Amino acid sequence: MKLRQRYFNFQEDAEAAFAAIGCDDAGIQIMKEKALFCCFELKDISLRAAIILKQEMMALGGEVVVSREVMTLQPEKTTVIILGTEKQYAKLWQKLAQQPFGCKEVALLLKEYLERKKAASEKQEFDIGGKKISFAKPVIMGIVNITPDSFFDGGKYLNTEAAVQHAKQLVADGADILDLGAESTKPGSDPVKEEEELRRLLPVLDALQESPEIKVPISIDTYKPAVAEACIKRGAHIINDITGMQNPKMREIAAQYRVPIIIMHMQGSPKTMQENPQYVNVVDDILDFLQQQIQVCHGEGIRQIICDPGIGFGKTVKQNLEILNRLKEFEMLHVPLMIGTSRKSFIGKIVGGNADDRLEGTIASNVVALANNGHIFRVHDVKQCRRALDMTAAILRVKRESKEERKEKAA
């Protein structure tokens, strides 16, 4: 059995989802207007549990979309979409907990989701290197590529002095975090040996540690445990792992030094990831991976976790766009979400031009990501993205405040 949070921004999206699980046309027309609430898709639920679930939710004023076959009592297992408010879900799980046929398992999933969401909303900041990073506003991660071959700025900051000056400028422009990387992970790239990666990284890291102008946390973009540990010992604060913390040694280091981690999803390796990536359902598949890795990391004592769906890492243009459209579904991870679209090739395939021509597309994708509950934005162009995201946040904040004011007046 699997629980998935679903968001429908438009009734057309709800209609398509209802039709996909086998709901008849009359039912779709009745229920589509109720879909713009908090929606969950529940897979592999028993037939009896689905019937009880529908009865109990309807009694609370909500709705459950089921396949027409449920009414014929034919399938042993089915998929349903639950439509309701959080208040209704809080009552629903308590009612289901008293019912048989797998309803207790559904109750436990809903209860766990509501508790984790409440805990996540109450703690919207991390303590990183002694600095509080709040996710109540957009967090900008500035990219410092100490590489000869990165797709946009390869070779520009390979020199230590140039990299340090660039990092200082990013902080002056509004970066909340610096992300240092010394190995290109663009599509088709070859790996770099540990010794070479450290040779590039450590002088820059040391210089930044000594600079009074650098008061922000420093992330290390690496999937090699030895590189991560050496940098943490020299003062780095975050491990940004494109392989999703699958290496037990990397998890051991993160737990030992109690540093935040970034778990990214990638299909394949940088060398092969763009060779016809395939998914059953791109968002569901990514969520499965991230949920699994969060559980593994929690089990090994790692508490401060950020997730990255890995846009451009083993995804087609259409799949990247689908991820951006469905980012709200990642809320159920209950961790901050990082988005890395900056100047990537999928933008060029839509608007044209090379990496130098993708700033506007980068800003647009980040604005959409923020509106869909993204938290951290990994970018090359800090000043421009900072301004665009701060403006977007102000607009969204007014919308939320107006909604809260209406609630207070109604009460």
Give me the active site residues, please: 344, 378
Spatial distance between the Cα atoms of 202 and 198, rounded to a whole number of angstroms: 6
Tokens 């701060």 belong to which residue? 390
Closest CA to 342 of 366, 369, 316: 366
Tokens 């209802």 belong to which residue? 18
Phi-psi region of 396 (alpha: psi -120 to 50; beta: other; left: phi over 0): alpha
Locate 349 and state its tokens: 């395939």
Spatial distance between the Cα atoms of 27 and 15, rounded to a whole number of angstroms: 10
Pairing of strands 177-181, 131-134: unpaired
381: phi then psi, degrees, rounded to nearest 5:
-105, 85
Closest CA to 152 of 369, 321, 340: 340
- Report the C-alpha dihedral over residues 190, 285, 265, 121, rounded to 10 degrees: 170
The DSSP line for 127-186 is EETTEEEESSS-EEEEEEE--S--TTTTTTT-SHHHHHHHHHHHHHHT-SEEEEE-S--S
Spatial distance between the Cα atoms of 350 and 359, rounded to a whole number of angstroms: 13
Locate 338 and state its tokens: 């990082």
Closest CA to 145 of 193, 199, 200: 200
SS3 203: helix
DSSP-H helix ranges across 278-358: 282-299, 317-325, 345-351
Pairing of strands 177-181, 38-46: unpaired
Spatial distance between the Cα atoms of 293 and 248, rounded to a whole number of angstroms: 11
